[in-house]
Structure 1
Amino acid sequence: MSAQPRGESAPESDAYPGAARGATATVTAPPPAPATPAPAVTPPGVPERPDGVPGKRPAVADGAAAPARTRRWGWTSRRKDLAAYGTFLLVALWVTSQLWVDPAGRVAALYSGDPAQVQFFLAHSARVVLHGEFPFYTDQFNYPDGVNLMANTAVLALGIPMVPVTLLFGPAVSFVALVTLGLAGTAAAWYHVFSRHLVGRRLAAAVGAWFCGFSPAMLSHANWHPNIISQFLLPFIVWRVLVLTRSARPLRDGVLLALLVTAQAFINEEILLFTALACGVLLTAIVVQRPALWARAWRPLATGLSVCAVLAGALLAYPLYIQFAGPMAYHGLSDAVRDYGNDIAAFFAPGSPTFGGNERANVNLAPNYSEENAFFGWSLSLIAVGIVVWLRREVMVRALAATGLFFAVLSLGERVSWWDRDLFTGPWDLLVRLPLLDAVVPTRFALITSVVIGVLLALAVQRAWTLRGAEWRHARTVAVAALVLALLPIVPMPLKVTSRPPVPDFITADRWREYVGADQTLVPVPVPGMGNTHAMRWAASTNLEFKIPGGYFLAPRNGNTGDPGRFGGRPSDLGELLDEVATTGRTPKLNDRQRRRCLDELRHWNAALLVLPVGQHQAEPLRRTVEQLVGPGRRELDVWVWDVRPLSARSD
């Protein structure tokens, strides 16, 4: 295999250095300078392309026959690509099928907070487009303190393109569409990069991409976190970083990388950080094995990354300023979330939303069912190790193995455990307080390990299909059997759903407009919080036409900008009182002091109206409690209402 002369940036086929489209990935070595060409290293047993140039179709000797063969090759490849993309979309629709039955009335089982929050953010994106509202902060919930949206993953890069869907069909439909497109789009993006720059066989690319898009971790987050599963930019970011190691036009390639990084920052910054860390560890693992590669790669890489840092830094400077120094900014996550780690046993169990999964069997192996970030199952874990042993001669494979193992260990968190039994302190304990890392949920490092396994699967299938001689007779049978054994237990199943209360007719019929002014709030009963997010859907259904106090979000502790983060805003006496009634069903006897404190909070919120759905859980004790505070309520349509404007009016 001869080196490609470099008159400009590397061709697309060289994005994964040393990987030929007709062979498995080899050494991620940047090529030498044009003046000193050297052959790329090819693993034993992998044939060269007929023309000796990676990523290029063989030259055709017969000029007359060339057009026909070219058309046939292009059409066949296009059909294979369309088949892969169509399959990914069908699988994504299968996974979300139960949600599509009734997007507004169904939600993933167990937790409903994150979908309501994302729907609120989607409605906010519509207001940004239609009304020019400030995109990075809002006081439409948690009034009057508001919420720092840059610090809460407001998914602007997803929400703004979805504005037409949100306006036509509502934020609930937009949410389910984002989940579906996030899964299918991520798999499609990895397939595109794998098939063009890593392996030559479309089947190998499809197998690896399928796992990257529908791994147990992706299925787990599909229940609640479209911002995490929308990873369709990540393959291209990784590709552009590797291109920089051998680029002859690092300025241009640095600009392209900066644009991708900027877009990903408005989808999910945590996943962007993971991608940067993974690229750094992968490249380090390669250089450690082949130190000579650094001499050729460092200059274009340093130039391109510098350009990327300057341009992306300029584009993101103001949003990041708002995130870290703007109103309601916080630093670091709450201790409860920061301690989320995987149990070692989680790597050997199938995920809950898979064919072989069992929610009861996975209890205590993950922080909760929305964070099953490992769960590869015994068969896939063993086969992944077997692939590394089989292809251990390849520098890329050893580097991938080191990268996957490194982040798997970090994902165990501060305390390493086995079947919920603490063993010893993990290495994450040494990193958890570092800047940026203090805002990372450690269990999610296993998402990197998932991608590494996807790459290994693609390489293994490619190698099995390129064996020759006696080995070739059994390679396909063994490969298919191994894939079935590994992947069948974690085949995705439709997400489990549960019903949720409809938005009250009082809200959808706009009856609230008779009471609530522009700077006043509608106070749902109970007050919105982490465990009660239905009212956020009320506001989202009206495109955030009214403000509400409280909500589900991350904010500085006690509302003081710069404090450590916590879920929810300032502690509220009225909110805690109504939460206790909703939980216990007991109506307390309130004294004058409690009444005064609750009325003070209504004034602080500039409350105009209290609204209690008739079908709310514990509606009767809640109604009696509110009546002790503000007097008798009135039934309108399907809610109880209390007009508190005379009681909560602010004095000038």
Structure 2
Amino acid sequence: MLANLRVMSVAATAPASADDRPTPPPEDTRTVLQRLRSHLLVAVIALGMGVYLTHGLWQQPYRHVIADNVGDQAFFEWVLAYGVHLLRDGGDPFFTDLMNTPLGVNLAANTSITVFAILFAPLTVLAGPQVTFVTILTLNMAASAFVWYLFLDRWLARNRLSAAIGGLFCGFAPGFVSHANGHLNWTAGWIAPLVLWWLLRLREKGRWLRHGVILGLLLGTCFSIAAEGLFFTALAGGVFVLAWSASRTTWPEARAALPTMLAGLGVTAVVASALLAYPLYMHFAGPQTFKGTGFNQKHYAEDLASFFSFSERSLAAKAGFGSDLAPNPTEATSFFGLPLMILVVVSLVLLHRRADRGRRATLRALAVVGVVFMLISMGPRLLYMGDETHIPLPYALLQRLPLFDSALPLRFALVLVGVIGIVLALIADVLLDRTVMPHPAQAAFASAFAFALIPVFPLPLLYRERAPEPKFVSSGAWQRYVPAGGTMSALPFAINVAADGQRWQAYTMARGGRQFRIPDGYFLGPSDGGAEEEGRIGAMPRRTDWMFLRAALYGHITAVTDDDRENARYDFQYWGISAVFLPSAITGPDGMLYHAALEIVATDLLGTPEKVDDVLVWRIEPRS
């Protein structure tokens, strides 16, 4: 199917499928070395781009944080430290009561990246989750570009430079650079081409069993890294196959390949089901599961104008052409720019005109995937320039279906990155082949390429300072205040907008030894703490933790009453807290939070604190 896209310099009578192409002669040593040099060069460029984007974090990984998403970085650092805890002390990879005590957190229903946490545990032990976080982020971006390059070189492009152009675009497209603001799951864009690679290999006759097993293992492994990305890949593959098979030209080929594909997919399903039986149970029916997501789907939908606008982290934005149409800097998932959108449409038309009938069906199927996912990404109603219209869109019919109800619509636009990358690689093949395109036309098209791609070249991720780990935590002094298996919390209690308390626990887990539990935390869970409820961010707030958070976020000083103190005793008993402490600085979403106001409220509520190293500590006496 996708192999049919090698269209531009092949005669119209060439075989329509990869299986029918003549077997190429064995490569000599020189050819192999040339190919390896090309692969190495692209790998170095991709890694260099990854470091370029994340260099602000590399400068000081222990003090610098992604400026636009402090909370998500804290969550993923916690998950990476939890991987060390699993290997050292055992436990459930998909559920923990170390956070949100006493109820716990369903990690299967969160983006728990368990495979990364286990594989990179040695680095986490040696250097801390802070270094592991930026390492995975950098490698994810580089690997996405490189694996897309390998995929395009193997299945689509006739020229390795064309494959490199498409691969580098896919790895560093605006949407994936946006998700580099804290998302270790979504930056794993290498999963899509890897899955598609082995899906295509299922067509090889006589190898369906082996390839089915490999694909099943791949799906089982990648589920804990980017389950949502796997869902999008499967959905896009299904749309493509249906659109491609619908043509009378391609239907005979599809029918001939169907038995082998179904046999391979059957093996894949068995292997993947065996690996994912428990994770899927936990995800959909385990404790602390929930319906939907903690985010408003209407808010997280693509604006039609965003496809033709430029990201705020692009060269175009530096020149004054950026756009703020995204709901936040981490979810700017399209922003391809008008020149690139025009280039893609014109390229598809040119490719379609030069293709034979079979390959036209493949190009049409590729275009269908792009249009379908563009429409889905715009949510239930059309948005334009920030305003919601009354025009209904297809997502209105999908938003309550299983899986769709847990997705954010605008993320479906990430599928367009693969579609555009493929088109860029194919049209670059034409551009680089003088037998197909005369030199003047090549020069004009090269200028169009530059005009379309240079504006979307990414700028490095923004970063800023965050609060350092208190000596009270790093030295282990906290152990004098908390019994084994006990609960302690920094003030304010951990949440996405004030996640330091979660970080301190993470760094303790990474070092091993005794652990402490924390109330609250940044995670997704049910609204009332029970199953089958709508999702929300973090735990349901109680009166006491909200008092602390309000002081830290807004500087609000509550006039504490005896009723507040009595409620606090009940709340502390519920959480089982033995001590709370206030560090010298508190990281917030946009800067440091109100330390003085929080100290005043905590002292009024709990009495005079004890000064220990660089924190203030309040012991919590058990309620009689």
- Aligned partner letter, 1:636: V
List alignment gaps of at least 5 residues for structure 2.
Answer: 587-592
- Aligned partner letter, 1:204: S
Q: Secondary structure at the match of 1:417?
A: strand
**Residue in structure 2 matched with residue 546 of structure 1 by the alignment:** 516
**Residue in structure 1 matched with residue 192 of structure 2 by the alignment:** 234
Contact 1:407 1:448 in 2 (8 A): yes
Distance 2:368 2:558 in 1: 59
**Residue in structure 1 matched with residue 164 of structure 2 by the alignment:** 206
- Aligned partner letter, 1:88: A
| More off after superposition, 121-130 vs 348-357 | 348-357
Q: Secondary structure at the match of 1:336?
A: coil
Deviation sequence 1:72-102 (CA, Å, 0-9, x none): 1111111111101111000111011111001
Q: 2:226 aligns with which of 268, 286, 301?
A: 268
Distance 1:24 1:247, change over 3 A: farther
- Aligned partner letter, 1:560: G
Contact 1:521 1:546 in 2 (8 A): yes
**Residue in structure 2 matched with residue 45 of structure 1 by the alignment:** none
**Residue in structure 1 matched with residue 4 of structure 2 by the alignment:** 18
Q: How does 1:176-575 map to 2 (within 5 A)?
A: 176-245=134-203, 247-289=205-247, 290-334=250-294, 336-337=296-297, 339-357=299-317, 365-392=325-352, 393=355, 394-423=360-389, 424-468=391-435, 471-543=437-509, 545-575=515-545
Select the structure with the greater relative contact order (CA < 8 A; seq sep ≥ 6). 2
Distance 1:188 1:130 in 2: 34
Deviation sequence 1:374-411 (CA, Å, 0-9, x none): 00011111101111111124332221111011101110
Contact 2:488 2:579 in 1 (8 A): yes
Q: How does 1:86-235 map to 2 (within 5 A)?
A: 86-235=44-193
Deviation sequence 1:449-498 (CA, Å, 0-9, x none): 111100110111112223417x3323542343222111100112211111
Contact 1:108 1:498 in 2 (8 A): yes
Q: Give, in angstroms, the shift of residue 105 of structure 1.
A: 1.0
- Aligned partner letter, 1:343: D
Distance 1:25 1:593 in 2: 81
Distance 2:22 2:567 in 1: 72
Contact 2:195 2:218 in 1 (8 A): yes
In the alignment, structure 1 residue 613 sits paired with structure 2 residue 579: no
Identity between Structure 1 and Structure 2 (%):
33
Distance 1:361 1:559, change over 3 A: farther
Contact 1:338 1:439 in 2 (8 A): no
Q: Give, in angstroms, the shift of residue 41 of structure 1.
A: 3.4
Equivalent pairs counted in the alignment come to: 605
Deviation sequence 1:555-580 (CA, Å, 0-9, x none): 01110012121111122111111122
Distance 2:556 2:253 in 1: 71
Contact 1:19 1:25 in 2 (8 A): no
Q: 2:605 aligns with which of 622, 629, 649?
A: 629
- Aligned partner letter, 2:186: I
| More off after superposition, 358-367 vs 397-406 | 358-367
Contact 2:178 2:333 in 1 (8 A): yes
Distance 1:140 1:416 in 2: 42
Distance 1:302 1:164, change over 3 A: same
Contact 2:585 2:595 in 1 (8 A): yes
Contact 1:88 1:187 in 2 (8 A): yes
Q: 1:600 aligns with which of 563, 570, 577?
A: 570
Contact 1:338 1:440 in 2 (8 A): no
| More off after superposition, 101-110 vs 613-622 | 613-622
Q: Give, in angstroms, the shift of residue 58 of structure 1.
A: 4.5
Deviation sequence 1:259-281 (CA, Å, 0-9, x none): 11111101011000000001001
- Aligned partner letter, 2:541: P
- Aligned partner letter, 1:269: A
The TM-score normalised by the length of structure 2 is 0.92
Deviation sequence 1:530-573 (CA, Å, 0-9, x none): 21111111111111622111111000111001212111112211
**Residue in structure 2 matched with residue 41 of structure 1 by the alignment:** 16
Distance 1:602 1:352 in 2: 44
- Aligned partner letter, 2:435: R
- Aligned partner letter, 1:557: S
Contact 2:68 2:181 in 1 (8 A): no
Distance 1:376 1:520 in 2: 50
Kindly report the root-mean-square deviation, in angstroms, between the aligned alpha carbons of the 2 structures.
2.3
Deviation sequence 1:321-340 (CA, Å, 0-9, x none): 11211111112113514641
Q: Give, in angstroms, the shift of residue 198 of structure 1.
A: 1.4
Distance 1:133 1:288, change over 3 A: same
Q: Give, in angstroms, the shift of residue 19 of structure 1.
A: 5.1
Q: Give, in angstroms, the shift of residue 149 of structure 1.
A: 0.6
Contact 1:465 1:476 in 2 (8 A): yes
Contact 2:174 2:334 in 1 (8 A): yes
The TM-score normalised by the length of structure 1 is 0.89
Q: How does 1:55-66 map to 2 (within 5 A)?
A: 56-58=23-25
Distance 1:571 1:482, change over 3 A: same
- Aligned partner letter, 2:617: V
